[in-house]
C-alpha cells in the first residue's frame, strides 16, 4: 500500500448482472446498497467517440466502499463490456495442469478427462512442465 495515497478505500468490480453481484455481497454481510439505475456516459474509446450505458451500485463494509458496475445493452464499444468479455474468455479456458494435478482434478470431477497438453505449458498449480 502506498504511503503517498494512503489506505485503499474503494473496490470497484465490473459485473454482468448487478442483482447477482449485490446478492453475492449481501450473502457476505455487505449492504445496504445504493443503486443508480442507469447512467449514460459519452466519451472516447481508443480515440473514437462512443456512448456507454451502465448501472451501478454502492455499499460500505467498514471503511471500504464496494462499487459494482454493470454495462447495459445498447452501449457502444466500452471498457466495461470489453473487460467482461476478456474475463469470460479466461474463465472458460481449462486449467493448465501437470499430469499429477490433472489426475487429481479428474478424480475430483472438476475436470473432464483430457489428453495431455504440450510439454511447453506449465502447470498453474505447481509450475511444473506438463
Gyration radius of the chain's alpha carbons: 20
Run of H or E residues at 91: helix 79-92
Mean pLDDT, rounded, for 17-45: 93
- The set of cell numbers assigned to 92 is 472458460
pTM: predicted TM-score of the whole model, two decimal places: 0.64
Q: What is the pLDDT of residues 77-91, one digit of tens each?
A: 998 888 888 876 544
Tell me the C-alpha to C-alpha distance, in Å, between residue 53 and each of 4, 40, 71.
34, 5, 6
- The set of cell numbers assigned to 38 is 442507469
Helix (H, G, I), strand (E, B) or coil at 117: coil
Amino acid at each position: 500500500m502506498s504511503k503517498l495515497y494512503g489506505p485503499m478505500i474503494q473496490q470497484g468490480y465490473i459485473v454482468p448482472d448487478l442483482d447477482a453481484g449485490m446478492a453475492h455481497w449481501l450473502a457476505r454481510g455487505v449492504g445496504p446498497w445504493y443503486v443508480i439505475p442507469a447512467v449514460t456516459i459519452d466519451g472516447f474509446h481508443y480515440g473514437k467517440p462512443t456512448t456507454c450505458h451502465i448501472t451501478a451500485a454502492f455499499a460500505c463494509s467498514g471503511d471500504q466502499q464496494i462499487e459494482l458496475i454493470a454495462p447495459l445493452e445498447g452501449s457502444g464499444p466500452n471498457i466495461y463490456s470489453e473487460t467482461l468479455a476478456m474475463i469470460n474468455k479466461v474463465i472458460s479456458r481449462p486449467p493448465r495442469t501437470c499430469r499429477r494435478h490433472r489426475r487429481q482434478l479428474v478424480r475430483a470431477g472438476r475436470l473432464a478427462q483430457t489428453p495431455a497438453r504440450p510439454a511447453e505449458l506449465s502447470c498453474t498449480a505447481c509450475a511444473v512442465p506438463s
